[in-house]
Structure 1
């Protein structure tokens, strides 16, 4: 751990500020969301350099109004979860993510941290929290519910994968792109682990899926199978 405060991360992010990058960042944020204007590569570098930040200071980053500070917090959580932490730390990382989900305002914050930080904790454990997220009215919470199980496809057993697939089934017809695109990504990865399981899922649910989600789900399949699925 490092004794450096969250303010050191903010200062480092501001050193990379540019008006051109701020204009690009603003295009993917809500009109009233503050931003610094830091390139993602530089942001990730800053986060990596401060990966040992105390979790109390990570929470302070999440309190910051700027998108970059909160994304840096997500990166730090992700780096820590990838560093083979013990169960106590893994639980603490997941708790920070879930307790401060209200500070997650973009899909890329979810995608950066949910698989390792949230999915990493729930491998082999009860999935009630993920099921609750899947039932949320907030699209980004539902994205977390289906993005966290990407880790199950890498490190989980069949029961973990089944739990992730059940969440995909629950969200399969979600109207919001931020949710159904994530469902499609999960299903595509599911096909890499178990092609027959993906095909079985699609036989049952393809007709209910938004077209974008379906195309993502089948994107790694053979051309003839993709055409057959899309015709139905």
Structure 2
């Protein structure tokens, strides 16, 4: 809460050059505050050129987004929204192909904006591409986005699960089915579908 308060107070006052210094800090709290500030800057402007500059800045500083909260706090509100509104799926798609876990997570969590708008194909593409990725933070992100998709359209989730649930890491599956009816959850968990 304190970091968000600072971000709200200073987002309009701090330049991208100053923000670069904050985002490249060795202190996690500095980097997280910088992401909050950058996200506020993006959300508060209606100027497409300014939004594009902010997205370029974000993409040029990806090496500092090296923890799940640094990724999740801004990627869908900033990069995901920009990609959706400007038909730039390629930016997220390129990240989903990366060997770096944080890039993969930015890609899949970035599709949250798509999911909120009722568009599920990119989410399913990225989850499928990285379904077997070894790190549990990807399993959680994949399951989280599938669950969000199911919150908006349960049939989309069920159709996806019916194709892939046997191949999913258990953590991913548990996250994905969390909001389903208990009987259906148990059917998936016990492989009865």
Shared fold by TM > 0.5? yes
Q: What is the CA-CA distance between 1:85 and the residue it aligns to? A: 2.9
2:157 paired residue number: 198
Where does 1:162-181 land on structure 2 (aligned, <5 Å)? 162-181=121-140
CA apart distance, 1:204: 0.8
TM-score (normalised: structure 2): 0.92
The corresponding residue for 2:21 is 60
CA contact (8 A) 1:81 1:120 kept: no
Q: CA deviation at 1:207?
A: 1.1
Deviation of 1:91 (Å)? 1.6
What's the counterpart of residue 110 of structure 2? Answer: 148
Q: Give the Cα–Cα distance (whole angstroms) in 2 for the partners of residues 176 and 118 of structure 1.
A: 23
In the alignment, which residue of structure 2 is the partner of 1:51?
11
- 2:74 paired with 1:113: yes
Match of 2:48 in 1: 87
| Structure 2 gap ranges (5+) | none
Q: Which residue is 1:127 aligned to?
A: 89
Shift of the alpha carbon at 1:88?
A: 1.6
Cα deviations by residue, 1:99-121 (Å, 9 ceiling, x for unpaired) = 11001121100010001111010
Cα deviation per residue 1:12-40 (whole Å; 9 max; x = unaligned)?
A: xxxxxxxxxxxxxxxxxxxxxxxxxxxxx
Q: Which segment drifts farther, 49-58 or 101-110?
A: 49-58
TM-superposed CA distance for 1:84, in Å, is: 5.0
- Give 4+ residue runs of structure 1 displaced > 2 Å after superposition: 80-86
Displacement of 1:56: 2.0
The answer for unaligned runs of 5 or more in structure 1 is: 1-40
Cα displacement string for residues 127-159 of structure 1 (whole angstroms, at most 9, x for unaligned residues): 12211111111111111010100011123x53x
Q: Report what 2:63 is aligned to.
A: 102
Larger radius of gyration: 1
CA gap of 1:84–1:154, structure 2 versus 1, over 3 A, is farther
What is the TM-score of this pair, normalised by structure 1?
0.77
